[in-house]
Amino acid sequence: MRSIALFTLPVLLTALAVPVLAQKDKILEIQRDLALLQNDVRSMKSAMDEKFAGLSVLVQQSLDTANKSTTSLAILDKSLGDKLREQQTSLNAPVAGVNAKVDQMTTELALVKESVSELSELIKKLQGQLVEMNNAVRIINTPPPTPSAPTASSSGPPPGISSETLYTNAVQAKNAGQLDFAIEQFQQYLKFFPDATYVPNAQLNLGDVLMTQGRFDEAVQYFDAILEQHPDFPKAPDAQLKKGKALLNAGRRTDAVNEFRNLIKKKENSEQAFLAKQELKALGMPYAAPAAPAPKKKR
């Protein structure tokens, strides 16, 4: 039995020694791997340090370039400012000269306008004198009628007088301020040519001239003639507005108010209706007539 035990002991020791040796080899292998890993880490750290150093150099170079650019921009801005100030200084004198020229031209233009206005007034006076001369010449050149010569009927115009001539003479006399002669010419036009084209115009002009002379009741008659005989005349609203003003100036306040109200009712959105409202407002009157009170019911 003892010999068997002695034989078994070395076998057991050998069996136990094999795992221990294998474990030691494993530890050595791990140590080698750790050493290699440490070497790799040191290599990476060294590479990173080199890259950071290069990046720092690039950043510093960029900062230097930016500082130089800022300095250059400041110098350029100062240079541009100086140039602009020089140009402004050099332009101030010519601009001041141009402004002076413009002021001078404005003054001269005002003088020219005044001269033109005076010339227009002179032309109007000359036109009036020319009308008078034409009428005088026409009367002189018209031969007196003889008993044997045919004459115009009592209801017809004088020989050689046309509707165009009468109307033109009347308008020119009105523009020249020859109001009495204008009234005479307009009245003859309406008498001898009641169906002519410019009858409503003549009535409107005649009413204007009469209002200028303060003959308001007579002016109302001609404005009425337009409204009654020519209701579609484009200037009929003007005639109605003028009629209201003539009535008001003649002291016929109630009639004037009614005329203004009728105009507003017929041409509510027209310029003449707006002016009629202004007249009523000045009189302190409403735009429309107040409604009549309802009749009381009998009990």
How confident is the model over 70-116, as pLDDT tens digits? 787 888 888 888 888 887 777 776 767 777 777 778 777 766 766 67
Angle, alpha carbons 255-260-262 (nearest 5°): 95
- Degrees (nearest 5) of the Cα angle 33, 52, 49? 35
* Stated pTM of the model: 0.48
Angle, nearest 10°, between helix axes 236-249 and 271-283? 20
CATH architecture of the domain covering 163-283: Alpha Horseshoe (1.25)
The pLDDT, as a whole number, for residue 68 is 84
Residue among 178, 185, 162 at smallest CA distance from 127: 178
pLDDT tier at 220, thresholds 50, 70, 90: very high
**What gap in Å lies between CA 216 and CA 23, rounded to an integer?**
141
Contacts of residue 198, defined as CB under 8 A and 6 or more positions apart, other chains included, come to 163, 167, 189
Q: Are 171 and 206 in contact (CB under 8 A)?
A: no
- Every domain of the chain and the residues it spans: 24-88, 163-283
Give the residue from 122, 131, 133 showing the smallest Cα distance to 170: 131
pLDDT digits (tens, 9 = 90+) for 106-162: 777 766 766 676 676 667 667 656 765 665 555 444 443 333 333 334 466 777 788
Model confidence at 14, pLDDT cuts 50, 70, 90, reads low
Nearest by Cα to 220 from 262, 275, 173, 259: 259
